[in-house]
Amino acid sequence: MKRIVIIISAIVALLMLAALALPFLIDPNAFRPTLESRLTQALGRPVKLGDLKLSILSGSVTANDLSIADDPAFSPTPFVQAKSLAIGVELWPLIASRQLRATGLAIDQPAIALIQAPNGDWNFSNLGGERAAAKPKSPTPDSASKTPMDLSVKLVKITGGRFSLVKTGGHAKPLVLEDVNLEVHDFSATSAFPFTFATKVAGGGAIKLEGKAGPLDAVDVAASPVTATLNVDKLDLAATGLLQSAPAVAGLIGFQAALESNGQNAHLQGKLKADNLRLAKDGTPAKRTVDFDFTLDHN
């Protein structure tokens, strides 16, 4: 019995030493060109990664910087700039044959600029779509058979993000979403995938969204189907700048609603509550809470 214990202990010790030595034996930066190339191909935008580090214990490769280019028709600055990107990997293919197989993506503290043109197009509309691949480089045997957004991941996670929403051609200040947390499970461009989204709005308010999205529209990502429940709490209409085109309107609103969208037409139904509601420039805020049941159809 003592001999068996000694043998098992020796095996465990060898495995631990191997795990400690692997980060020195495998240089994850050797995979950086491949990672950048695959992400660039999938998103239809140039992707740049910083220095890569391998963590055996967490089973991940981490980049200390992430940059995704914007649509040049909207902005020359990056669409996404993040502090770090962690890529979950399958360890055995990495150890045995040095093949990098991603299982998850975690993006920490990204700054993301969402820009809408006067015609309604967004700067993410062609992300990974056919328009992004409209001017392909010379096809390679590995890429010729692939469709746009050829990417599937078990888990995509964003933590501590900051999103800014702005329209071009105007002078309105952007709507800023802070502390954005997003989780997408079983992501695939060709099927529906569950997601959760939570954020605080600069100026006051909180938003939570939970449901399913997809499959992604091959031409316009913004036109993809979505089914979700929406919860908004204490949204300050004046301080957030949400109604800059109607500055007379003010108050704190909250609502719960169900959203159904086929990508072209959206149906929203729920209950809305407004406190300190004001509808006229020189009006006095309402002293009583105003409640609405509402139904909205929007194209």
Contact 278, 289 (CB under 8 A): no
**Average pLDDT of the residues in 55-74:** 80
Confidence of residue 190 (pLDDT cuts 50, 70, 90): confident
Residue 277 has pLDDT above 50, yes or no: yes
d(CA 245, CA 173): 11
- Among 146-155, 184-193, 224-233, the least confident range: 146-155
Confidence of residue 79 (pLDDT cuts 50, 70, 90): very high
Residue 268 has pLDDT above 80, yes or no: yes
Which residues are registered as beta bridge partners of 156? 105, 184
Residue 281 has pLDDT above 50, yes or no: yes
Q: How many residues does the chain have?
A: 299
pLDDT in tens, 222-240: 889 999 999 999 999 989 9
- The identity of residue 143, as a single letter, is S
Omega of the bond prior to 118 within 30 degrees of 0, cis? no
pTM: 0.76
Phi-psi region of 160 (alpha: psi -120 to 50; beta: other; left: phi over 0): left
Q: Higher confidence at residue 159 or residue 31?
A: 159
Instruction: Spell out the residues 6+ positions from residue 158 whose beta carbon is closer than 8 angstroms to its own.
Output: 106, 107, 110, 180, 181, 182, 183
d(CA 108, CA 274): 34
